[in-house]
């Protein structure tokens, strides 16, 4: 009796365990014509591995496997379902058996029960159940092709979205439902002037395809990063079951939502071994450093321009250029940043530069020391350091009458102060032209009273002028407004000159906004993502509306690369930029 009780308990426990997992085969119909299609679903209520379908003897697999997963919670209870679907076309009439499918769940192998199906003669009106939907889903595919799934930090990768369409169907229209957001990347879309249909293959079958979008990404974080899917709503023309008098099929229009699917890439960090101390995040191929001056012989108090330029292929907009150092006796102004960068399927190429205005104060020989620039070379996967040549400036004495003392250079080549030239007082007139005053006495004359009373009359004017200056100095808000307006127009002067030329205008406007941020918020080029800019503006006390307008301006500059803009829109963006920069300068 005791042994029987133990066996009964073991049987109940095993039955309960088996009952928790369900794996079964379902068919759309048990009886069908030879000209119809059969849908077979293998459904399980727990996730499994190593799914092994039956051989489908006497049937041709015309679609599948399609996989669907449902995971819901109702009143705190979880409901899970995973389905593998196949579409079968019978090879002939007869009674056939759909064999057993296998799945491994939690280490146990489960099998479905065999299903009996009868195939009869052809029917007059075949009903295939979701036939149009099935044909559309099986003959149209949106694919995201990634050039490199294991890049380095700040290495360019390309995502190409291709829409594959089978020759059996037609696409009449499509629209974008969801645009992927590349939050962990610096991204730029490559303009596609015209969509061209090309022939190719998809899973070994002939397809037509069109490239819908190309995007260049520079990962800004290491580790596993997700690339969100592009989702489209496509109107598909699918051949139906009806035919015209000539035997041609009528087409049915089906709206189908397709997605490229999430893609995950693994971003490698840059190696720490051998990293130079002056490395600022530059990553690329065949980068070059050039330091040039527009002239090397000039006079004191004259100006020259020295340019620090990096050219090549890499993340040109995402690192800082090395600063220029000059002797203390040479006046140096803030550099003007410029870029000539184009983005194609291989990433950013071109040049970026800082142009410095230098003014030597005394004569002598001035060396511009060599600059060093380090970057991570993707070809050799190692760090490289570039060094520029020293530039020697030969500064002569200042122009005569400039009011600046000339200088001389000692034996060591360093500029030194020297006595002023002997003819520095040559502006004093030595040949006078005197004439007699005449019989009328000077005292009491009009000139006498004018010279005597003039200073007295100027006293009230001086007092009024002083009060006016005090009032202006005390008007803190007014001074901030005037200063902000001057600063805004200074940075936007180049953009104003290019009004009417879309490409040049928006390039100048974007450069003005970036230079303003660098000057005002001390933000580095590598930090100029919209999220980082918004965070800095909020931390500085800028109100939400002004911050939103500034981000919208940056978006307008990006959209202008591949969408046309009118002169009215450019003028509106310029006026908005003047107002927004002025508001930020008053609030920060």
pLDDT band at 387 (very low <50, low <70, confident <90, very high): very high
Q: Give the per-residue pLDDT at 429.
A: 64
Which stretches of 114-261 are assigned E, i.e. beta strand? 115-120, 140-146, 157-165, 170-178, 185-190, 197-202, 205-219, 223-227, 231-243, 249-259
CATH of 283-401, one of 2.70.98.10, 3.30.470.20, 2.115.10.20, 2.60.40.740: 2.60.40.740
Bridge partners, 62 (sequence order): none
Q: Look up residue 396 and give its two tokens.
A: 């002569």
Lowest-pLDDT choice from 83-97, 198-212, 420-434: 420-434
Separation of alpha carbons 561 and 574, rounded Å: 17
Q: Look up residue 528 and give its two tokens.
A: 């100029």
Over residues 507-518, the pLDDT tens digits come to 888 888 877 777
Higher pLDDT residue, 106 or 438?
A: 106
Task: State the Cα angle at 410 between 408 and 415, rounded to 5°.
Answer: 50
Q: Give the per-residue pLDDT at 554.
A: 82
Give the three-class secondary structure for 196: coil
Lowest-pLDDT choice from 82-86, 324-328, 345-349, 480-484: 480-484
Cα-to-chain-centroid distance, residue 193 = 20
Q: What is the 3-state secondary structure of 275-320? A: CCCCCCCCEEEEEEEEEEECCCEEECCCCEEEEEEEEEEECHHHCC
pLDDT band at 216 (very low <50, low <70, confident <90, very high): very high
Q: Give the per-residue pLDDT at 138.
A: 77
- pTM of the predicted protein model: 0.51
Average pLDDT over residues 425-437: 62
Lowest-pLDDT choice from 272-281, 390-399, 570-579: 570-579
DSSP 8-state assignment for residue 409: E
Average pLDDT over residues 162-170: 89
pLDDT band at 414 (very low <50, low <70, confident <90, very high): very low
Give the number of residues written for the chain: 588
Contact 184, 225 (CB under 8 A): yes
Cα-to-chain-centroid distance, residue 344 = 13
CATH topology assigned to domain 14-125: Immunoglobulin-like (2.60.40)
pLDDT band at 4 (very low <50, low <70, confident <90, very high): low
Query: Does pLDDT of 291 surpass 90?
Result: yes
Over residues 246-274, the pLDDT tens digits come to 656 677 788 888 888 888 999 999 999 99
DSSP 8-state assignment for residue 349: E
Higher pLDDT residue, 396 or 584?
A: 396
pLDDT band at 242 (very low <50, low <70, confident <90, very high): low
Q: Which of 62-66, 180-184, 220-224, 243-247 has the highest mean pLDDT?
A: 220-224
CATH of 476-587, one of 1.20.1250, 1.10.10, 3.10.450, 1.20.120: 1.20.120
Q: Give the per-residue pLDDT at 412.
A: 42
Q: Tell me which residue of 61, 202, 232, 230 sits closest to 139, measured CA to CA.
A: 202
Average pLDDT over residues 368-381: 95
Query: Does pLDDT of 195 surpass 60?
Result: yes
Separation of alpha carbons 52 and 111, rounded Å: 10
Query: Does pLDDT of 553 surpass 60?
Result: yes
Separation of alpha carbons 215 and 344, rounded Å: 9
Separation of alpha carbons 33 and 93, rounded Å: 8
CA torsion 543→546→550→551, rounded to 10°?
A: 60
Rounded alpha-carbon distances, angstroms, from residue 237 to 165, 171, 251: 11, 6, 6
The domain limits of the chain are 14-125, 134-267, 283-401, 476-587
Separation of alpha carbons 412 and 415, rounded Å: 9
Average pLDDT over residues 170-191: 86
Distant-in-sequence, close-in-space partners of 411: CB < 8 Å, separation ≥ 6: none
Lowest-pLDDT choice from 107-111, 262-266, 375-379, 450-454: 450-454
pLDDT band at 464 (very low <50, low <70, confident <90, very high): confident
Lowest-pLDDT choice from 159-173, 252-266, 410-424, 492-506: 410-424
Contact 305, 399 (CB under 8 A): no
Average pLDDT over residues 387-406: 78
Q: In which element (H, E) is residue 10 found?
A: helix 2-20
For the chain, the distance separating the N- and C-terminal CA atoms, rounded to the nearest angstrom, is: 88
Mean pLDDT across the chain: 81
14-125 and 283-401 in the same fold: yes
Separation of alpha carbons 557 and 511, rounded Å: 10
Higher pLDDT residue, 146 or 518?
A: 146
Query: Does pLDDT of 337 surpass 70?
Result: yes
pLDDT band at 585 (very low <50, low <70, confident <90, very high): confident
Query: Does pLDDT of 382 surpass 90?
Result: yes
Q: In which element (H, E) is residue 31 found?
A: strand 31-33
Q: Which of 49-63, 87-101, 211-225, 485-499 has the highest mean pLDDT?
A: 211-225
Q: Give the per-residue pLDDT at 147.
A: 94
Q: In which element (H, E) is residue 415 found?
A: strand 415-417
Separation of alpha carbons 571 and 499, rounded Å: 7
Q: Tell me which residue of 220, 549, 577, 185 sits closest to 537, measured CA to CA.
A: 549
Separation of alpha carbons 312 and 159, rounded Å: 22
């Amino acid at each position: 009796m005791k042994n029987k009780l133990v066996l009964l308990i073991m049987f109940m426990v095993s039955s309960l365990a088996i009952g928790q997992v369900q794996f079964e085969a379902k068919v759309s119909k048990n009886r069908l014509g030879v000209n119809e299609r059969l849908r077979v679903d293998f459904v399980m209520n727990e996730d499994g591995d190593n799914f092994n379908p039956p051989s489908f003897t006497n049937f041709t697999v015309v679609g599948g496997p399609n996989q669907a997963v449902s995971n819901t919670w109702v009143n705190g209870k979880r409901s899970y379902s995973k389905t593998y679907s196949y579409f079968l076309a019978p090879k002939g009439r007869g009674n056939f058996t759909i064999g057993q499918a296998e799945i491994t769940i939690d280490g146990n192998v489960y099998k479905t029960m065999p299903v009996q199906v009868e195939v009869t003669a052809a029917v007059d009106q075949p009903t295939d159940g979701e036939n149009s939907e099935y044909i559309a889903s099986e003959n149209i595919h949106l694919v995201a092709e990634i050039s490199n799934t294991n890049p380095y930090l700040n290495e360019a990768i390309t995502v190409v979205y291709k829409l594959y369409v089978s020759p059996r169907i037609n696409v009449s229209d499509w629209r974008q439902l969801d645009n992927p957001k590349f939050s962990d990347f610096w991204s730029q879309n490559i303009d596609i002037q015209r969509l061209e249909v090309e022939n190719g293959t998809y899973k070994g079958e002939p397809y037509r395809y069109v490239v819908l979008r190309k995007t260049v990404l520079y990962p800004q974080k290491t580790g596993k990063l997700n690339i969100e899917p592009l989702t489209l709503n496509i109107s598909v023309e699918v051949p139906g079951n009806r035919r015209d008098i000539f035997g041609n099929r009528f087409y049915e229009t089906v709206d189908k939502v397709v997605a490229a699917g999430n893609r995950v890439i693994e971003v490698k960090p840059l190696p720490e071994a051998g990293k130079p101390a002056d490395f600022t995040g530059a990553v690329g191929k065949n980068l070059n450093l050039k330091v040039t001056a527009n002239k090397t012989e000039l006079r004191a108090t004259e100006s020259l321009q020295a340019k620090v330029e990096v050219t090549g292929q890499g993340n040109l907009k995402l690192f800082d250029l090395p600063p220029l150092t000059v002797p203390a006796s040479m006046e140096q102004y803030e550099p003007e940043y410029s870029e000539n960068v184009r983005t194609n399927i291989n990433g950013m190429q071109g040049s970026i530069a800082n142009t410095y205005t230098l003014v030597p104060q005394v004569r002598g020989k001035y060396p511009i020391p060599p600059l060093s620039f380090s970057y991570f070379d993707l070809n050799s996967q190692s760090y490289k350091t570039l060094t520029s040549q020293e530039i020697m400036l030969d500064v002569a004495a200042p122009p005569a009458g400039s009011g600046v003392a000339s200088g001389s250079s000692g034996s060591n080549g360093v500029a030194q102060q020297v006595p002023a030239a002997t003819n520095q007082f040559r502006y004093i007139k030595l040949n006078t032209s005197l004439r007699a005053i005449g019989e009328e006495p000077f005292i009491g004359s009009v000139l006498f009273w004018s010279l005597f009373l003039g200073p007295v009359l100027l006293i009230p004017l001086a007092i009024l002028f002083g009060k006016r200056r005090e009032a202006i100095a005390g008007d803190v808000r007014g001074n901030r407004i005037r200063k902000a307006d001057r600063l805004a127009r200074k940075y936007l002067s180049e953009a104003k000159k290019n009004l009417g030329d879309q490409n040049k205008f928006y390039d100048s406007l974007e450069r003005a906004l970036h230079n303003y941020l660098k000057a005002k918020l001390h933000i580095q080029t590598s930090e100029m993502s919209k999220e980082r800019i918004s965070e800095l503006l909020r931390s500085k006390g800028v109100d939400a509306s002004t911050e939103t307008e500034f981000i919208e301006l940056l978006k307008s500059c990006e959209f202008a690369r591949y969408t046309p803009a009118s002169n009215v829109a450019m003028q509106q963006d310029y006026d908005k930029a003047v107002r927004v920069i002025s508001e930020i300068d008053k609030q920060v």
